[in-house]
Amino acid sequence: MKIPTFLILCFASVVLADDFKAIDGKEYKNVTVSRIEADGIVLRTKSGISKVYFVELPKEVQERFHYNAAIASAYSAQQAVSQSTTAIAGRGQPVEVISHGAQVDINLHLALGNVTVVDFYADWCGPCRRLTPSLEQMAMSDPQVALRKIDIVNWRTPVAQQFNIHSVPQVNVYDRGGRLVGTVVGADIDEIKRYVTQAKTGG
């Protein structure tokens, strides 16, 4: 029996409207699953779009979406490589996402000889999303600035604890020699630019 297309579409939209509760207690109510990726689900809410990683969700949700840790790890690594090898338009350096919650040796990712801006962010963070275009524009227009991004995923991940992150966005600015010049908590692009200028002259 053939089912009319509009009935299939309606059925799909009803099925995908759902509630989710993360293992840390955060709730996502009346959301629509916009996309399923190997390492998480992209949810559409009234306030926008956010990605929730499977490691944040209970086992029954992981099983429902056929989560496989090995495949997810490979997918995350592939995404990081893809982003790190793709330079944003213009003369700037590539933007690298160097961690999705895992500990990271920041010294291995500093662009020695240039200023390195490290952006600690999370997909669910509104101020982070507002700050991102300004950071990328800065890196795009200035070949002396390298942008590295660290997705903390949530407050309890190893990388959040490693750098003692209690608020995002947080931006660390390192000079040409790899020394930390300053830290900006919040989406204050002007303060970030001041530290970048200081890092250029002091490194």
Helix 126-141 and helix 189-202, axial crossing angle in degrees, nearest 10:
40
Asked if 144 contacts 200 with a C-beta cutoff of 8 angstroms, the reply is: yes
Nearest-10 Cα torsion for 153, 159, 160, 162: 170
Distance (Å, whole) CA 119 – CA 97: 9
180-187: which pairs have CB atoms within 8 A and are 24 or more residues apart? 186/127, 187/127, 187/128, 187/130, 187/131
Asked if 93 contacts 140 with a C-beta cutoff of 8 angstroms, the reply is: no
Active site positions, annotated = 125, 128
- Taking CA atoms, 137 is separated from 120, 140, 192, in Å, by 17, 5, 13
Other CB atoms within a 10 A radius of the CB of residue 134 amount to: 15
**Which residues, including other chains, have CB under 8 Å from residue 40's CB and lie 6 or more apart?**
51, 52, 53, 54, 56, 72
Among 148, 72, 166, smallest CA distance to 109 is for 148
